[in-house]
Structure 1
Amino acid sequence: MSTAELPDGDWIRGITIRQPWATCILAGKNVENRPKPWSWRGWVLLHAGKAKPEPALLRNALVARTVRGRGLPLGAVIGVARLTDCHQDPDGAPPCTEWAEPGAWHLVVTDVQELALPIVVGGQLGLWRPTQDQVRGQLPDLRP
């Protein structure tokens, strides 16, 4: 399948994630906590939300260690990842990762790739369908 034949948004989604969590994913955070389960599996553009991070979050030891020396772009796609699973930890079980919040649904991401330059685009809550122009710029070889 050539790039020209890829259907707009049918094989990839965008996910808007607040900072500093979006940058943490680029640096090794492998779950995103959400209040509801998601059925989508596949590629997602990692879009950093427009809101500035709360100062208290940046003082969290795990977050501070993870984002040290990195910028926190806002309102831009900063990477791409493959969403492979969505689960909750069983009651009383230890968290699946140090990033997992108890009671939350954990979106598991793999194959994380950081973009060389953030792509400034609008995002939205939940999963959204990007246009091919939002994908092709820095990811010309990305395929379903």
Structure 2
Amino acid sequence: MKALTIRQPWAGAIAHGTKRVENRTWKLPAKHEGARILIHAGAQRDRQAQVSGDHLDVYSAIVAIATITECHFSVAGTCCGPWGFERAYHWTLADVAALPEPVPAKGALGFWTVDDDIVNTVLRQDTGVAW
């Protein structure tokens, strides 16, 4: 299974909030559109982020599962609500489910393959969403 590392507080806003778009400078590879992925909270915080709330202090752990439903480029910045950045690729997310217990894991840049032991630990958790 693939995971995507996202810095806090963005990973927490996806897992426990309303953020349903991930901003990237690169286009989503077609093979990942429609894929179920794990959301990994990176080891570092985005110091420029102005987001507050619960669940934003988890680092280096899988915090949620999600489906990437599409990718589009935003020029005007008027789409994807308050979360979509201008002049960025917007990867839209659906079926997001937070893990009851974050699963520690070392992340990587881009998409990365999660070890089977970690995937099994994630799968054992009751997220209320079908895999």
TM-score band, normalised by the shorter chain? 0.7 to 0.9
Identity of aligned pairs, percent? 32
* Partner in structure 1 of residue 55 of structure 2: 70
Higher Rg: 1
Determine which of 44, 47, 52 is the counterpart of 1:51: 44
* Partner in structure 1 of residue 21 of structure 2: 31
- The offset of 1:69, in angstroms, is 3.1
Aligned residues: 123
Give structure 1 regions of 4+ aligned residues with deviation exceeding 6 angstroms.
none
Structure 1: state its 5+ residue gaps.
Answer: 1-11
Determine which of 99, 119, 125 is the counterpart of 2:109: 125
Determine which of 91, 98, 101 is the counterpart of 2:85: 101
- The offset of 1:136, in angstroms, is 1.4
Matching of residue 136 in structure 1 with residue 129 in structure 2:
no
Task: Indicate the structure with greater strand content.
Answer: 2
- The offset of 1:80, in angstroms, is 0.7
Q: What secondary structure sits across from 2:13 in the alignment?
A: helix
Scaled by the length of structure 2, the TM-score of the pair is: 0.84
Amino acid at match of 1:37: K
- The offset of 1:129, in angstroms, is 1.2
For each residue in 1:61-88, what CA deviation from the matched residue of structure 2 results, as whole angstroms up to 9, or x when unmatched?
A: xx22xxx233420011111111111111
Are the equivalent residues in 1 in contact too, given 2:76–2:86 (CA < 8 A)?
A: no
- The offset of 1:53, in angstroms, is 4.0
For each residue in 1:93-123, what CA deviation from the matched residue of structure 2 results, as whole angstroms up to 9, or x when unmatched?
A: 6223210000100111111111111111111
Scaled by the length of structure 1, the TM-score of the pair is: 0.77
